[in-house]
Amino acid sequence: MQFLARDHLQSLLDVLIRSGYRCLGPQIRDGAIVFDTLTLVSQLPRGVRDQQSPGRYQLTDSDDPRYFLWANGPQALKPLTFAPREVLWKVERDTRGNLSFVETLPTPIPTAVIGVRGCDLAALQLQDQHFCYQDYADTYYNRRRRSLFLIALDCAHPADTCFCHSTGDGPDVQSGFDMALTELDDGFLLRVKSEKAKEIAAQLPLIEARPEHYQAATAQHQAAIAAQTRHLASRHLSEALFSQLDHPRWAEVAARCLSCTNCTSVCPTCFCHNQTEEASFDGKNSTHYRQWDSCFTSGHSYMHSFVLRDSALLRYRQWLTHKLGSWHEQYGRSGCVGCGRCITWCPVGIDITEEANIISGVSAHA
């Protein structure tokens, strides 16, 4: 590992931009931290902390010189690869009534994303498994995915709602990145994984990391683990959940659930979508869209004149058992990466760890 002084962080942005990348980094928009176009270090949320709890998210200022004092915001990498709404193809009718179909593939520009957390890298790997499956790879997703240069950041300040350590996806980053940073008081430990990252790093004013840098990083990592009080009872809850489909807790949580879809919108692994056709008024052409959907909507389980899951109880049970249970059959692991977003952004503060652990027989804060 090498070390990049805090005063030289701008050089990383400059090198990326010179190399042809559009830079995205954490910035404050509408009271939350999201990824947006980044050209200057001064745009980063210096000294900003996030306070998260069930149903609550707030940013506060401090005089700390660090730029990454926060855990996460509502936005993960998902919108950059799996577009919230996109055109898949267009259909045109000629004067003789013949139809022609035109595919509308995206043409993304190379994009460097700075500040990606371990939980979101794990989520991206799950999305890769789904959208890049063997002979059935999604071209739209793949084009965007291949355009990304990912600069990860070890999380040193988990929120009260985080539980990534119990899922094995944080707080440090392990894989799936091009370059990774560990923010310390005076700068950043830097490690590279891809050939592209080596080329970028070769142009930076790096120095050899000193023993005290490693010691500070290790202490910081252990403190981040200790700060996480929530956990899932196990990384494999499939049997425990599917054996409790009649547990009374399903009705209790359903009475609070608004079916608002916030949890699935902010979840970095959810990929439910629908497809719609929008025709022009003159009937000469139409456009076929794909857009995000949620298993919490009644329309998502509509099947030829009836709704399969016609209550909040059935919809919440489907989401939780699928996310923490049947994902193991499909992807070899749980669909939860412990980011805690569904807890923070739920208007009524439903806690996935509490519900899952109670239904499976283990307290959320044991």
The arithmetic mean of pLDDT across residues 164-172, rounded, is 95
The arithmetic mean of pLDDT across residues 161-189, rounded, is 96
Q: What pLDDT does residue 301 have?
A: 80
Whether 134 and 267 map to the same domain: the answer is: no
Domain with 24, as residue range(s), is: 2-227
The arithmetic mean of pLDDT across residues 218-222, rounded, is 97
Is residue 154 within 8 Å of residue 217, measured between CB atoms?
A: yes
Residue in 207, 219, 266 with CA at minimum distance from that of residue 74: 266
Half-sphere exposure of 304 (CA within 13 A, CB side): 0
Q: How far apart are alpha carbons 18 and 54 in whole angstroms?
A: 42
Residue 187 three-state SS? strand
Per the model's pLDDT, the better-predicted residue between 144 and 307 turns out to be 144
Of 206, 227, 248, at which residue does a domain stop?
A: 227
Q: How far apart are alpha carbons 342 and 339 in whole angstroms?
A: 8
Which residues lie closer than 8 Å to 229 by C-beta, 6 or more apart?
A: 160, 365
Q: What pLDDT does residue 145 have?
A: 96
Whether 156 and 275 map to the same domain: the answer is: no
Residue 63: pLDDT above 80? yes
Q: Which residues pair with 23 in a beta bridge?
A: 112
- The angle that helices 118-131 and 139-146 make with each other, rounded to 10 degrees, is 140
Whether 222 and 271 map to the same domain: the answer is: no
157 domain-assigned: yes
Q: How far apart are alpha carbons 130 and 121 in whole angstroms?
A: 14
The amino acid present at 194, given as its one-letter code, is S
Region of poorest pLDDT, from 169-173, 235-239, 265-269: 235-239
pLDDT confidence bin for 96, thresholds 50/70/90: confident
Q: What does the block give as tokens for 40? A: 């200057």
Residue 158: pLDDT above 50? yes
pLDDT confidence bin for 307, thresholds 50/70/90: confident
pTM reported for the whole predicted model: 0.93
pLDDT confidence bin for 176, thresholds 50/70/90: very high
Q: How far apart are alpha carbons 341 and 264 in whole angstroms?
A: 9
Phi, psi of 252 (to 5 degrees): -65, -45
Whether 145 and 247 map to the same domain: the answer is: no
Residue in 39, 41, 71 with CA at minimum distance from that of residue 57: 71
Q: How far apart are alpha carbons 215 and 217 in whole angstroms?
A: 5
Positive or negative, the CA dihedral 167, 168, 171, 173 is negative
Give 75's DSSP letter: -
The arithmetic mean of pLDDT across residues 83-111, rounded, is 93
Whether 210 and 280 map to the same domain: the answer is: no
Is residue 270 within 8 Å of residue 259, measured between CB atoms?
A: no
Q: What does the block give as tokens for 28? A: 């404050």
Whether 223 and 85 map to the same domain: the answer is: yes
Whether 201 and 290 map to the same domain: the answer is: no
The arithmetic mean of pLDDT across residues 311-326, rounded, is 94
Tens digit of each residue's pLDDT (9 = 90 or more) over 239-278: 999 999 999 999 999 999 999 999 999 999 999 999 999 9
Q: How far apart are alpha carbons 193 and 181 in whole angstroms?
A: 12
Of 202, 227, 252, at which residue does a domain stop?
A: 227
Burial of 238 (0-12, 13-18, 19+ CB in 10 A): middle
Give 176's DSSP letter: S
Could you tell me what percent of the chain has a pLDDT over 70? 99
Residue in 83, 86, 84, 82 with CA at minimum distance from that of residue 288: 86
Whether 158 and 300 map to the same domain: the answer is: no
Q: What pLDDT does residue 227 have?
A: 96
Tens digit of each residue's pLDDT (9 = 90 or more) over 135-151: 889 999 999 999 999 99
Residue 363: pLDDT above 80? no
Q: What pLDDT does residue 299 have?
A: 86
Residue 365: pLDDT above 90? no
232 domain-assigned: no
Is residue 158 within 8 Å of residue 168, measured between CB atoms?
A: no
Q: Total domain count for the chain?
A: 2
Q: What does the block give as tokens for 226? A: 């200790």
Q: Considering the chain, what is the average pLDDT of its residues?
A: 94
Q: What pLDDT does residue 233 have?
A: 86
366 domain-assigned: no
Residue in 15, 43, 68 with CA at minimum distance from that of residue 182: 68
Q: How far apart are alpha carbons 161 and 208 in whole angstroms?
A: 36
pLDDT confidence bin for 125, thresholds 50/70/90: very high
Whether 49 and 152 map to the same domain: the answer is: yes
Residue 362: pLDDT above 80? no
Of 186, 203, 227, at which residue does a domain stop?
A: 227
Q: How far apart are alpha carbons 236 and 323 in whole angstroms?
A: 11
Torsion of CA 79, 85, 89, 91, to 10 degrees: -170
Whether 167 and 203 map to the same domain: the answer is: yes
Could you tell me what percent of the chain has a pLDDT over 90? 89
Residue in 131, 83, 88 with CA at minimum distance from that of residue 289: 88
